Amino acid sequence: MIVIENIRKYYRKNCLKSIRQASNRNISCSSLNDAKYIGILYEIGEEHTYITLNTYVTKLLAEGKTLRIIGFHNNKYVPHYCIPQLKYDFFCQKDLNWFGKPIAPLIQEFADEPFDMLIDLSMEVIFPLQYVLAKSTAKFKVGRQNDSSEDYYDLMINLDETHDVNDLIYYINEYTNKLNGK
């Protein structure tokens, strides 16, 4: 089992490296206030995390933002409380290949979207979400600081283990709204 997991890790590392080398996105600093089209990545965890995300999405929609959201659940099926909606897409383990790379068509569609800002709300490093983050052509990417994703973010929020998604959302709003984008 250790050998198989090492092969997967090696593949994943090289996959992300090749994406980074092939990246040709136009980086443009943007505040959350100025961003019109926002993408959100998150891990589908407990139901309260999903409710927190819905509250945040409702707030952004009320501000006139256009959103597209993609969530990953590290299980065979998406949980019952994830209600399909126009702006939400979900994927799970059955949408991954043997190496853990997302193969669902919605992943490439999401990655190709010209987001003004991509917000990664995942609290841990999860390869399928890291893959989507790396593939994304978003102009500005923001998320929680971690060693293995620092090459993919334009702004990282440093939080310790005691913080949760609510704190991450708060600090993303605080710090990005201080940016003037010029």
Q: What is the DSSP string of 93-118?
A: GGGB-TTS-B--HHHHHHHHS--SEE
CA–CA distance, 44 with 52 (Å, rounded to integer): 11
32: left (phi over 0), alpha (psi -120 to 50) or beta: alpha
Q: Tokens at residue 48, please?
A: 């309260």
CA–CA distance, 150 with 96 (Å, rounded to integer): 23
Q: Tokens at residue 77, please?
A: 């099926």
Name which of 28, 27, 61 is nearest 180 in CA terms. 28
List the pLDDT tens digit at each of the 182 positions of the chain. Answer: 788 888 888 888 888 888 776 777 788 888 899 999 999 999 988 888 888 888 999 999 999 999 999 999 888 877 777 776 777 888 999 999 988 899 999 999 999 999 999 999 999 999 999 999 999 999 999 999 988 777 889 999 999 888 899 999 999 999 998 886 54
Report phi then psi at 91, rounded to 5: -145, 160
What are 39-80's pLDDT values in tens digits? 999 998 888 888 888 899 999 999 999 999 999 988 887 777
